[in-house]
Amino acid sequence: MKAILRSLGFEKHSNYVRDYFDNTNMKSSIYMSVVVIVLEIWMIIRLTLTIIRENLQSNLKHFFEKYYSNYGILLFMACVMLFCAVRYLKGKSKRRSVILITKWVFMITCIYFGIKVSLNDYAKGEQFLTFLTMELFALCLLTWRPFTAFIISGSSFLYFYSCIDKMVAINTGEVGATVATKINFFSMWLSTMMICIASYNRIRAQALKDENLHEINTYLSKLSVEDELTGIHNMFYFRNEAEKLLNYITTDKENIVFLFFDIENFKSYNEKYGFHAGNELLIKIAHMIDDAFKNSLVSRFSDDHFVVLTSYDGVQKIIGQLSGEIKKFQNEVHLELKCGAYRPHGEETDVSQACDRARFACNSIKKHYDRTWRLYDKSLEDKFHLKQYIVNNIDTAIANGYIKVYYQPIVLTENANICGLEALARWQDPNYGLLSPASFIEILEEYRQIYKLDMYIIESVCKDYRDSTDNHKPFAPVSLNFSRLDFELCDIVGYLCETVEKYNVPREFIEVEITESALTDQHEFLPNAIKKLNECGYNVWLDDFGSGYSSLNVLKDFHFDVLKIDMKFLTGFNNNEKTRPILENIVNLTKKLKMLSLTEGVETKEQFDFLCSIGCERAQGYLFSKPVPIEILREKIEKGELKMSDKYKN
Ligand code: C2E
Ligand code: CA
Ligand code: CA
């Protein structure tokens, strides 16, 4: 029932469908009015020529009343319709009321004209073709809802029929329509109605289909410029628009600035309050940034990273205010806004590079709690180049042997003898000199290249073991630093097993250090990897204990053989009275959890004595030795500066 009512036009149209009908009607109106205009002009010319040829000028009043006036009215209406339809389709006027009135007036004029002319001619011989043509024009070319069409055609057919039913046919002299005419007339009306209904439903179906497509397209195009979570612009939109802008501004480029925002500790906020709360916070921050930089390009690149292109004047003040507002959101998690700024100059049009530099400036002030913003300058430029150099040259560095393993001894507190060595990477570069891990580990992690380095270190350590053993030189179990990403980017455990086998290294000579922060990311594969390492017979150590937020959880969820207490505990050894009891408690805890404790960063005899007194089993630090190449380590042992545990003397 509903479907029938719908197909008869008893339904509410959406704006899109309504506009679709209006559009279709305006297009049909153009065809109709052009045909009508041509026809009427032709009729007017033909009638005038007939009047002149047959010398009928004396009857001009009669012709005017009967023909010229009708032709004129229709011609005028067709011109008005044409004018309105063209304006509508060109988008110059979209006023519905105007086009509705014009359409109705035009339709009524057409039908009126059809009836009038047919009635004039009917007397001459049952002529109603003009009526029919006009009816078809007005009802079938234009699309009406079926019930509207029913009213229009019903009343016009009835009116026309009642008129001809009273008339006398000239050729036969009979009054009224014949039975055949009545039947023909009725079937004509029925066909007109059928065509109306069919045309309405065809166009309606098309309109609905188009509406769907339109909705999908709108959704997709919104997605392509809008960030789904926050509703502000996304990276693609930003890049496109920023590029246009950079190309457009030829002078005064120094006046614009790229800003890269990062919310420090956002990860911890997510961990503490959950993703939902994290997302809500991101939405708030996104709108705060958007509001703060009116008339600028504001976008979210990813996670908690926002990029803005704006004018340089007053930018520092806005960043200061934003930073203050963001601090208000923190309760237990310390949140801080960090902003890196880059001012393009000269011919620069590379948006990606500008964003990269702003991001680089932003990263350079991470963990500097007193700084909110940093402008990309010469010193950062040098670091930026180094970063590019590192990413581009890691393969060459490995192939050419620029990467070296340095060993730092780990000693037993009971006798200060070496019981282990930590393998630490160094990059001896022909251009940059000796690079410490601080300058390349993070970059390699960022570019997901770190596994190359760690695989190389595994192989180098195994080779050093083989060489020491074959040549009866001292060597101790080596602890390797694995990055969290190693487990993600390659089968590091598989590779370790293969290499150890290849160089015939006993498994107890290899230990794996996993830094605490790696375990707070809640990755599924890490627990599995730790399990696999244990199963293969390797000891796993927890590195940098106490440097992150979830130290104790990590101890609850995973098993480690050794706990490496982060060196930051020793930095306050002399002036912070809490350091000692904290260290003592950690050491006690490790004993209870059946782990060994190792304190890193031991630099003074006093620190070492304290560690001995609280029962910490192992220590590592400059007091014994800095990380050194294997040859130096051997020399130190030979000279007696360092003593190897009896177990590992070879
Ligand atoms: P880490 O694993 O915590 O290594 C200890 C760092 O502390 C080393 O820095 C070491 O030289 C330094 N250190 C040792 N004793 C003392 C001391 O008494 N005082 C002070 N101030 N520092 C001391 P390094 O060699 O620069 O390494 C830095 C970090 O780079 C390492 O931290 C480790 O996380 C990473 N790393 C080093 N080599 C590798 C590697 O081959 N692979 C991976 N994935 N990471 C590595
Ligand atoms: Ca380590
Ligand atoms: Ca460490």
Q: What is the pLDDT of residues 217-234, one digit of tens each?
A: 887 777 778 888 999 999
Q: Is the pLDDT of residue 312 over 80?
A: yes
Residue 441's nearest CA partner among 492, 482, 401, 476 is: 482
Contacts within 8 Å (CB) and 24+ apart, 187-196: 188/132, 188/157, 189/153, 189/154, 189/157, 192/135, 192/136, 192/139, 192/140, 192/153, 192/157, 193/146, 193/149, 193/150, 193/153, 195/136, 195/139, 195/140, 196/139, 196/140, 196/144, 196/146, 196/149, 196/153
* Residue 128: per-residue pLDDT: 75
Nearest atom within ligand 1 for CA of residue 515: 34
Strand-pair partners of 406: 424
* Ligand 1 atom with minimal separation from the 424 CA: 38
341 phi and psi angles, rounded to 5 deg = -125, 140
Mean per-residue pLDDT, 269-289: 92
Q: How far is the CA of 556 from the centre of ligand 1 (A)?
A: 25
CA distance 36 to 136: 13
Question: How high is the pLDDT of residue 365?
Answer: 93
pTM of the model: 0.62
Q: How confident is the model at residue 571 (pLDDT cuts 50, 70, 90)?
A: confident
| Residues around ligand 3, an ion, CB closer than 5 A | 543-544
Which are the contacts of 256, defined by CB distance < 8 A and separation ≥ 6?
245, 249, 309, 310, 311, 312, 343, 344
pLDDT tens profile 520-547: 666 667 788 888 999 999 999 999 998 8
Rounded CA separation 499/492 (Å): 10
Residue 513 Cα: closest atom of ligand 1: 2
DSSP 14: P
pLDDT band at residue 123 under the 50/70/90 scheme:
low
Q: What does the pLDDT read at residue 430? A: 94
What is the chain's mean pLDDT, rounded?
Answer: 89
CA–centroid distance, 543 to ligand 2, in Å, is 6
Domain 235-376 belongs to what architecture? 2-Layer Sandwich (3.30)
Ligand at shortest distance from the CA of 620 = 1
Selection from 647, 633, 313, 329 nearest residue 477 by Cα: 647
Measured from the alpha carbon of residue 410, the closest ligand is 1
Window from 284-288, 352-356, 645-649 with minimum mean pLDDT = 645-649
Q: Quote the Cα angle for 91-97-99, to 5°.
A: 55
How confident is the model at residue 578, as a pLDDT? 86
Q: Does residue 623 surpass a pLDDT of 80? A: yes
Domain boundaries, the chain: 2-219, 235-376, 415-648
* Angle (deg, nearest 10), helices 450-470 and 492-502: 20
pLDDT at 332: 80
- The closest of 417, 424, 427, 421 to 395, measured between CA atoms, is 427
pLDDT value of residue 575: 84
77-115: pLDDT as tens digits: 999 999 999 998 888 877 888 888 988 999 999 998 888
CA of 135 to the centre of ligand 3 (A): 91
Instruction: Render pLDDT for 332-349 as a digit per residue (tens, 0 to 9).
Output: 888 899 999 999 887 777
pLDDT of 487-506, one tens digit each?
989 999 999 999 999 999 99
pLDDT tens for each residue of 149-179: 999 999 999 998 888 888 776 667 777 777 8
Partners of 420 in beta bridges:
410
Per-residue pLDDT at 367: 82
Mutation test residue for ligand 1: of 404, 422, 439, 441, the one with most atoms within 8 Å of CB: 441
> Atom 14 (ligand 1): residue with closest C-alpha?
621
When pLDDT is cut at 50, 70 and 90, the band that residue 436 belongs to is: very high
Give yes or no for residue 549 having a pLDDT over 70: no
How buried is residue 642: exposed, middle or buried, by Cβ count under 10 Å (0-12/13-18/19+)? Answer: buried
Structure tokens at 77: 């209406």
Q: Is 189 or 572 the better-scoring residue by pLDDT? A: 189
Residue of higher predicted confidence among 646 and 477: 477
Q: What is the CATH number of domain 415-648?
A: 3.20.20.450
Ligand 2 centre from 367 Cα, in Å?
Answer: 20
Quick count: other Cβ atoms within 10 Å of Cβ 216? Answer: 10
- For the cut 60, the answer to whether the pLDDT of residue 510 exceeds it is yes
Position 415 scores a pLDDT of 92
- Average pLDDT of the segment spanning 267-275: 88
Of the candidate ranges 2-16, 278-292, 378-392, 634-648, the one whose mean pLDDT is the lowest:
2-16
The atom number, within ligand 1, closest to the CA of 623 reads 18
Residue 103 · residue 143 · CB < 8 Å: no
Residue 327 pLDDT > 80, yes or no? yes
Find the residues whose C-beta lies inside 6 A of ligand 1: 408, 424-425, 436-438, 441, 450, 453-454, 457, 481-483, 515, 543-544, 567, 600-603, 620-622, 627
> How much distance in Å is there from the Cα of 481 to the middle of ligand 2?
5
